[in-house]
């Protein structure tokens, strides 16, 4: 693995909580079986915002070590064009110079029990682009190096720039919906109509459940969810969610509840709305610990609680759905900024005034 710096480039570097800086850094160089890509776009994820704000799950505390290995170039929702290939890399990844590619957010070790059994997304080492520079930095930069164990996928030119930028979150959405095991007679509730939730709405609709319900506090997001196929939308600020769900389920509660709000109320709300023997799928990254009455899970409802992490084996699925016009970023990608404008971009991404914010290196705003 080469670390020799070449001509410099711009990058948003995470040094610590609330300590991100736009810096000139060395352009990466491709070593054996490595690629360098020129970044076209990199999305700002809710986890990026929570990492920036200092959430304990990223930075530790109470005797727990920090998960983030700073300093590190941020960003894991990226794609770009192959501009350099180290010895053997083109064959290793089956790509060509100039091809548009995306790498999955995890860089699996390839050696642990999870990697060798096919569950590489749960890799015990668990290096994630943009959080640990042990293997490689992230995509909020002009260029980025993809190491040999990266999982690289080719992006057809028929897929738009905004759609390509949403492949990573959409892969997470596909995995989450798959974990829900949606059946034709299910009443499905998706809590949270952010970028991930709106992707899940489109994907869950393809499963043709009996009813698809979306809960969010932002009317514009609920309108977009409706356009994507939600049968019913609920705004907890103005609607009686429990009464609406009861009216759709003869008072039993929803069959499936997918939590993607990232706030504690989304969890406790779900435990109330879901029926006995229901399936509760948790996707969110939380900024703080969440408390709930666990007797609901066992003694009262005997729930099937399932976690969802990353988007394993789902990138080709997303690319195919986008090519067929069944999955879109339309209305979800709301803003884009250059790297110079990263502070404004992060501020907007961490507000309800946007849905998905992209950084586009080298692009004039």
CATH label of the domain that carries residue 132: 3.90.180.10
Q: What is the pLDDT of residue 358?
A: 98
Q: What is the dihedral of CA 214, 216, 218, 220, to 10 degrees?
A: -10
Structure tokens at 255: 């069959």
Residues 22 and 108 in one domain: yes
pLDDT confidence of residue 13: 97
Q: Same structural domain for residues 245 and 149?
A: no
Token pair belonging to 306 = 């399932």
Q: Is 188 in the same domain as 99? A: no
CA–CA dist 170, 329 (Å, integer): 9
Q: Which residue has the tokens 């997303």?
A: 318
84 falls within a domain: yes
- For the chain, the helix, strand and coil percentages under 3-state DSSP, each to the nearest 5: 30, 30, 40
Clarify whether residues 132 and 29 are in a common domain.
Answer: yes
β-sheet bridge partners, residue 188: 212, 256
Position 365 scores a pLDDT of 32
146 shares a domain with 125 = yes
The whole-number pLDDT of residue 363 equals 47
Domain-embedded: residue 365: no
Residue 81 is assigned to a structural domain of this protein = yes
- Which contiguous run of DSSP H or E holds residue 7? strand 6-16
Please give the order of strands across the beta sheet that includes 72-73: 19-27, 6-16, 72-73
The bridge status of strand 106-107 relative to strand 127-128 is antiparallel
Residues 125 and 218 in one domain: no
Answer left, alpha or beta for residue 111, where phi above 0 means left and psi between -120 and 50 means alpha.
alpha
* CB < 8 Å & 24+ apart, contacts of 89-96: 89/30, 89/32, 89/33, 89/34, 89/35, 89/148, 92/33, 92/148, 93/33, 93/35, 93/146, 93/150, 93/152, 94/154, 95/35, 95/152, 95/154
Whether residues 179 and 283 share a domain: the answer is yes
Would you state the pLDDT for residue 25? Answer: 95
Verify that 250 and 337 share a domain, yes or no. no
Q: Are residues 286 and 342 in the same domain?
A: no
The confidence score (pLDDT) of residue 326 equals: 98
CATH number for position 182: 3.40.50.720
In the prediction, which pLDDT does 170 show? 98
Give the span between the Cα atoms of 9 and 325, in whole angstroms.
Answer: 36
Residue 123 near residue 108, CB atoms below 8 Å: yes
Which mean pLDDT values do the consecutive 10-residue runs of the chain (365 residues) have? 65 96 95 97 95 90 85 97 98 98 97 97 96 89 97 97 98 98 98 97 98 97 98 97 98 98 94 98 87 95 97 98 98 96 97 96 55
Q: Is 14 exposed, middle or buried (0-12, 13-18, 19+ CB in 10 A)?
A: buried
Task: Give the C-alpha separation, 259 to 180, whole Å.
Answer: 11
Residue 317 lies in a domain: no
Report d(CA 164, CA 88) in Å as an integer.
26
Query: Is 1 a member of any domain?
Result: no
Measured CA to CA in angstroms, residue 258 lies from 14, 278, 296 at distances of 31, 11, 17
With left for phi above 0 and alpha for psi between -120 and 50, is residue 94 left, alpha or beta?
Answer: left
Residue 67 is assigned to a structural domain of this protein: yes
319 is a domain residue: no
Indicate if 13 and 161 belong to the same structural domain: yes
**Domain annotation covers residue 312:** no
pLDDT of residue 129: 96
Domain of residue 98, residue span: 6-166+329-359
314 Cβ contact partners less than 8 Å away, ≥ 6 residues apart: 171, 172, 174, 175, 178
Name the domain count of the chain: 2
191 and 152 part of one domain: no
Residues 62 and 116 in one domain: yes
User: Which of these, 285, 359, 348, lies nearest to 12 by C-alpha position?
Assistant: 359
- Enumerate residues 6+ apart whose C-beta is below 8 A from 242: 272, 273
Rg of the chain on CA atoms, in Å: 21
Q: Which residues contact 361 (CB under 8 A, 6 or more apart)?
A: 10, 39, 40, 42, 141, 142, 338, 339
């Amino acid at each position: 693995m080469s670390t020799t710096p070449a001509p410099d480039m711009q990058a948003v570097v995470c040094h610590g909580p609330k300590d991100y800086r736009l810096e000139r850094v060395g352009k990466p160089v491709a070593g054996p079986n490595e690629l360098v890509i020129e970044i076209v776009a990199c999305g700002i994820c809710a986890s990026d915002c929570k990492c920036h704000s200092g959430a304990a799950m990223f930075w530790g505390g109470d005797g727990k070590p920090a998960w983030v290995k700073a300093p590190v170039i941020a960003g894991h929702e990226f794609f770009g064009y192959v501009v350099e290939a180290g010895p053997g890399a083109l064959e290793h990844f089956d790509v060509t110079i100039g091809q548009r590619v995306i790498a999955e957010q995890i860089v699996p070790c390839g050696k642990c029990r999870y990697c060798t059994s096919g569950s590489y997304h749960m890799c015990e080492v668990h290096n994630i682009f943009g959080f640990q520079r042990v293997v490689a930095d992230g995509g909020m930069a002009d260029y980025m190096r993809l190491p040999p164990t990266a999982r690289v996928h080719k992006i057809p030119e028929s897929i738009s720039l905004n759609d390509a930028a949403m492949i990573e979150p959409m892969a997470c959405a596909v995995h989450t919906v798959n974990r829900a095991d949606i059946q034709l007679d299910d009443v499905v509730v998706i809590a949270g109509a952010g970028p991930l939730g709106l992707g899940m709405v489109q994907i869950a609709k393809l499963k043709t459940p009996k009813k698809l319900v979306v809960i969010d506090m932002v009317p514009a997001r609920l309108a977009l969810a409706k356009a994507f196929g939600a049968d019913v939308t609920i705004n907890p600020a103005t609607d009686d969610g429990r009464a609406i769900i009861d009216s759709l389920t003869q008072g039993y509660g929803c069959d499936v509840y997918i939590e993607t709000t990232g706030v504690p109320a989304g969890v406790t709300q779900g435990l109330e709305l879901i029926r006995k023997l229901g399936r509760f799928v948790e996707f969110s990254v939380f900024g703080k610990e969440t408390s709930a009455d666990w007797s609901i899970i066992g003694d009262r409802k005997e729930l099937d609680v399932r976690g969802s992490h990353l988007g394993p084996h789902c990138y080709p699925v997303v690319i195919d759905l986008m090519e067929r016009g069944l999955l879109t970023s339309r209305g979800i990608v709301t803003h884009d900024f250059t790297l110079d404008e990263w502070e404004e971009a992060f501020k907007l991404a961490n507000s309800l005034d946007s849905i998905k914010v992209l950084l586009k290196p080298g692009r004039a705003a």
